Amino acid sequence: MTRLIFLGPPGAGKGTQAKILADNLAIPHISTGDILRSAMAAQTTLGQKAQSYYDKGDLVPDDLLHDLIGERLSQSDAQKGWILDGFPRKLSQASFLEELLQELSQQCDCALNLEVPDEVLIIRLLGRGRQDDNKDTIRRRLEVYRQETEPLIVFYGERSLLKTVNGDQSPEEVTESVKQAVDSCKPSCS
């Protein structure tokens, strides 16, 4: 049973690496963006609530995100393990997740942090060709990441759950480093 959290700045390759690892381990890759999109597409009660924020261009509030994550981690396919990508993004979400996992009699095995220098991230993000990816917005997103998400590195480090991976390698080398980091994670007690 493997339960992992993927951390790292925008453009670090979290989604790519989480998907590869999830496929290898035959466990769900749980991305908050995917959860939101599928809940909205299915028009679930939570999805309709999320859609109302999305339509206004607002961020989905934490309590709604918490409900969606709780619902997803309770599903049968998540009982044998999971990889969380994009959640938690800040300390309040990490505290919520800790409580939720206790309620579900689950625990996180490891938080993997993909480290990539800012210059490399900017080049990668500009290379994606998205309309909203320009140097100023990318720098702003990295600034928000540093303020809100970097404290999670300390949070998981204090719990001896943090493994850092050099994300500034070829995708294949990062995959190999991620696998080695996962192998060195403590086995789950559940």
**35-57 burial, b if ≥16 CB within 10 A, otherwise e?**
bbeebbeeeeebbebbbeeeeee
- Average pLDDT per 10 consecutive residues for the chain, totaling 190 residues: 94 95 96 88 92 84 92 93 94 96 95 96 90 86 90 96 97 97 70
Q: For the beta carbon of residue 104, count every other beta carbon within 10 angstroms.
A: 14
Distances (CA, A) of 133 to 66, 89, 100, 143: 28, 20, 34, 14
Residue 113 pairs in a beta bridge with 7, 164
The reported pLDDT for the residue numbered 189 is 41
The reported pLDDT for the residue numbered 190 is 38
- The answer to whether 3 and 108 have CB atoms below 8 angstroms apart is yes
DSSP 120-154: HHHHHHHHT--TT--HHHHHHHHHHIIIIITHHHH
What is the C-alpha separation between 116 and 26, in angstroms, rounded?
A: 27
- The answer to whether 95 and 116 have CB atoms below 8 angstroms apart is no
- The answer to whether 11 and 118 have CB atoms below 8 angstroms apart is no
What is the C-alpha separation between 14 and 167, in angstroms, rounded?
A: 9
Backbone dihedral angles phi then psi of residue 113, each to the nearest 5 degrees:
-110, 115
The reported pLDDT for the residue numbered 182 is 95
H or E stretch including 11? none
What is the C-alpha separation between 157 and 160, in angstroms, rounded?
A: 5
In the DSSP assignment, the letter for residue 105 is T
- CATH of span 2-183: 3.40.50.300
